[in-house]
Amino acid sequence: MSDTPVAFSDLNLPSTVLKSITELGYETPSPIQAACIPLLQEGVDVLGMAQTGTGKTAAFALPLLSRIDLKSNKPQVLVLAPTRELAVQVAEAFQAYARHIPGFHVLPIYGGQSYSLQLKQLRRGPHVVVGTPGRVMDHLDRGTLKLDELKAMVLDEADEMLRMGFIDDVETIMAKTPAERQTALFSATMPEQIRRITKRYMRDPQEVKIASKTTTMENIEQKCWIVSGVNKLDALVRILETEDTDGIIIFARTKTATTELAEKLEARGYAAAALNGDMNQQLRERTVQRLKDAKLDILIATDVAARGLDVERISLVINYDIPYDTEAYVHRIGRTGRAGRSGKAILFVAPRERRLLKQIERATRQPITQMDLPSRDLVQNKRLESFREQITSIFNDEDMTAYRELVDQLAVDTELETLDLASALLFMAQKEKPLILPPEPEPRPRRDRDSERDGKRERINYADLDVYRIEVGRSDGVQVKNIVGAIANEANINSRHIGDIRLHDSYSTVQLPKGMPDEVLQHLKGVFICRKKTEITLMEGEVAHPPRRKPRGEFKGKGRGGNDRNGNRKPRRDRREG
């Protein structure tokens, strides 16, 4: 993020769109937005190296929205996304940015949804269609989606589409769109197959890659917490209660988030206030002064409002929302460790933002160590400790004579022992911070935690899987990734829950979670894999096993493929991509 950020108002966006962005609390364009919006408005093709969490959806949605002709009821923008979740998310983002454009219509289409519903919605003439490649292909084949008036096409998370086996579909779809359409492709990485697409289907694409500076921040201890189990607000409160801190600054992404969080913390008894671009200069200065004077302990700020903030007593920075890029991160954590002091920075990372975390670690060349949340016992002990301190200081500093008499009186009035009376008073005094906390929830099963920790495949319990036979095989040209992609998207089964897949000549087997509902199977039967309608049947009596690994040193010439004792071709064991 440079020191003189562009403003949304500099970006030539229609006033209706600007109004929505303001209402959503976006303060300034993120780096990818500042770079992409003008390019897409000029009509050039854009190749964005960006990942989730960088604001890339708005980077393409905002400029493309300004080009929609509301009078035409044919799709003018097509976005391809790897999963139904992303398709829905992108469609919702379009809808949110277009909330002041009357008559604007966006439609997500994805596998798993009934065709008749989609047909009805397509007939209503959406201006923007956001879909998963398989379903878009189906509608193109059926003639129910017409792309002859398409002005722009976006490939979102292209590397994910490649990983899920959709890249051929993507190419086929691109080939069916008007040659003069504009294209934007977003991908976190640029594998060769994606480069190929950019060469074949894009015109002189402008690359947008936000460079990150490296800096050293040796006096700042950096930690991260991967969000799981506990919501971010509760996690924040646990940290605030157990860390020994002086001033604290918490970074949130939007102005609205800063005020909401400030209110929530105030309600929990913290001296907290928001600091954002909606406040005038004078109010901002006054707020910062109150932090300096220790009248406030916590500021919840946006990046822009906290730019250049220099308050020595800030000992902790919490990145409640992960920043878009390394530069913003470095700037944020640099608010602590001022004037030669040491500081601490904690970053909250949602599982889907892990890639941003890696990017920050790579660019700063500093590891960010993963931390556990403070335990319930620690929180409880800290509360008791501070309660004890308050009691002691009251006894030291105040004259308690009148209160002692009052206690005596109350004991007589209520006919209670002093101990019972004290416990009732303690109960009343704890207010919003209970001194006895409910027990910690049971830890979730190991499987869940494993899958969160390594972010990849959870260890599959093969006893929980059944074996199914699908009537499409190697002779149809099927690859494991095609099967994973179809099942993951159409049956909405996370690819982590799909077991071993084996390809035979005329059929394949796939291991799926036991107890698959009949409607999911029925639905899968209507799905095309390699242009063949999926015939899927349970292989009764067949037990799911993990893929057998080859012993080290096994002779490589045999074993893959080859013939069995009866002279039939042996199935090749294909390992799935993770």
Edge-first strand order for the sheet with 182-187 is 106-109, 128-131, 77-80, 152-155, 182-187, 46-49, 206-208
Figure out which of the listed residues 31, 35, 39, 54 binds ligand AMP, where binding follows CB under 6 A: 54
Quick check: 53 binds ligand AMP (CB under 6 A)?
Answer: yes
Q: Which stretch binds ligand AMP (CB under 6 A): 52-60, 269-277, 337-345, 389-397?
A: 52-60
What the block records as the tokens of 341 is 């002091």
Alpha-carbon gap, residue 198 to 192, rounded angstroms: 10
279, 316, 276, 324: which is closest to 298 by C-alpha?
Answer: 316
Figure out which of the listed residues 20, 30, 198, 326 binds ligand AMP, where binding follows CB under 6 A: 30
Find the binding residues for ligand AMP in span 227-266 (CB under 6 A): 253-254
Alpha-carbon gap, residue 176 to 141, rounded angstroms: 10
Figure out which of the listed residues 26, 60, 201, 320 binds ligand AMP, where binding follows CB under 6 A: 26
- At its nearest, how many Å lie between ligand AMP and the CB of residue 154? 12
Alpha-carbon gap, residue 433 to 268, rounded angstroms: 8
Total binding residues toward ligand AMP, as defined by CB under 6 A: 14
Quick check: 66 binds ligand AMP (CB under 6 A)?
Answer: no
Smaller CB separation from ligand AMP, 259 or 511 = 259
Smaller CB separation from ligand AMP, 6 or 530 = 6
Edge-first strand order for the sheet with 501-503 is 536-543, 465-470, 508-513, 501-503, 572-574
CA distances from residue 261 to 48, 254, 273, 307, 314 in whole angstroms, order as listed: 32, 11, 9, 19, 18
- At its nearest, how many Å lie between ligand AMP and the CB of residue 91? 13
Quick check: 354 binds ligand AMP (CB under 6 A)?
Answer: no
Q: Where are the extended beta strands (E) located within 181-296?
A: 182-187, 206-208, 220-226, 247-251, 272-275
- At its nearest, how many Å lie between ligand AMP and the CB of residue 270? 24
- At its nearest, how many Å lie between ligand AMP and the CB of residue 35? 13
What the block records as the tokens of 425 is 């008073």
| Helices 326-333, 354-364: inter-axial angle, 10-degree rounding | 70
Q: Which stretch binds ligand AMP (CB under 6 A): 55-63, 265-273, 358-366, 490-498?
A: 55-63
Quick check: 336 binds ligand AMP (CB under 6 A)?
Answer: no
Q: Which stretch binds ligand AMP (CB under 6 A): 23-31, 114-122, 497-505, 521-529?
A: 23-31
Smaller CB separation from ligand AMP, 88 or 520 = 88
Figure out which of the listed residues 58, 470, 480, 503 binds ligand AMP, where binding follows CB under 6 A: 58
CA distances from residue 571 to 474, 501, 563 in whole angstroms, order as listed: 10, 11, 9
Strand partners, 87: none
**Binding stretches for ligand AMP (CB under 6 A):** 26-27, 29-30, 33, 52-58, 253-254
